[in-house]
Structures are given as structure tokens and as C-alpha cells.
Amino acid sequence: MSGLTPGESDDASDALLHEAETTARHLLAAAPVEEVPHVAAWRDANRGFGAKPQRTRNSLEALLRRAGDGLPRVNRLTDLYNAISVLHQVPLGGEDLDRYVGAPRLIRATGDDTFDTSAGGADVTEHPDSGEVV
């Protein structure tokens, strides 16, 4: 995508998130989140590689579960991919490749792994369960 200037959430990203919240309300009025067809399909796909969807939800399902209270406003880029995730019903995220050490890769955790991320604006280290896809 071009033309997206990094920065705080703004009117445009807020409007997209409002649209996504409306979409989520319509989806959830028809079925519980785990029965929304796209969520159910992603749960099946995750089960296929050993993930337990009740314990490790994909980002689409997590966003739909939060939509009733309002989707988080993080920054323009995060707001954009969260809105697209809900509007198109696909788990979607982004990574800051400048903060990677080495090439990005998708692996199963051994149980001894550390995962540096952020929560609530603070840096945190998580420890994925053995076998979790990270």
C-alpha cells in the first residue's frame, strides 16, 4: 500500500474501524463467533496444524470477540489491518521488519522460546507453548 503515513490513529482509520465494528455486529447477530463461517474455517485450518482454537485464537476471531466493546485504536497501520481483517474475515497482521534479528520465519515453538512483543504500549516477553505456531 502506498500513501499511508505512519502515525497516530486518525479520522480515516477511525472510520474504517467503525465500519468493521458494524460488520462484526452483523456477523455476530447471525451466529456465535465460533460459528461464523470464515472463523469456523480458520479454526479447522488451525486444528490441522495442531493448534487448539479455544486456547490460541487467530486474530480475526480475537478481533470479532472484542468488537462489541469497540476495536482498539492503535495507530494508522494497525487500525488499517485490523479493519481489513474484520471486513474481509481473514486473520491479518503486520510486523516491523526493522526490529527482526534475522529473516522472519514461521515455526512451531519448542516451549523454550521467547517472543518479544508489546501489550498496552509496554514491551513484554511471552513464552509460547510447545507446538504453538509462531
Each residue's pLDDT tens digit, 12-41: 999 999 999 999 999 999 999 999 999 999
pLDDT at position 2 is: 56
Q: Residue 24's closest CA among 62, 56, 73? A: 62
DSSP H or E segment with residue 118: strand 115-119
pLDDT at position 121 is: 63
Q: What is the value of pTM for the model shown?
A: 0.75
Name the pLDDT band for 111 (thresholds 50, 70, 90).
Answer: confident
pLDDT at position 106 is: 79
Can you tell me whether residue 110 is helix, strand or coil?
A: coil
Can you tell me whether residue 22 is helix, strand or coil?
A: helix
Q: How far apart are CA 111 and CA 127, in angstroms?
A: 7
DSSP H or E segment with residue 25: helix 11-30
Q: How far apart are CA 111 and CA 83, in angstroms?
A: 32
* Residue located via cell numbers 485464537: 57
Q: What is the pLDDT of residues 62-97, one digit of tens each?
A: 999 999 899 999 888 889 999 999 999 999 877 777
Cα-to-chain-centroid distance, residue 3 = 23
* Helix, strand, coil percent content, the chain, rounded in steps of 5: 45, 10, 45
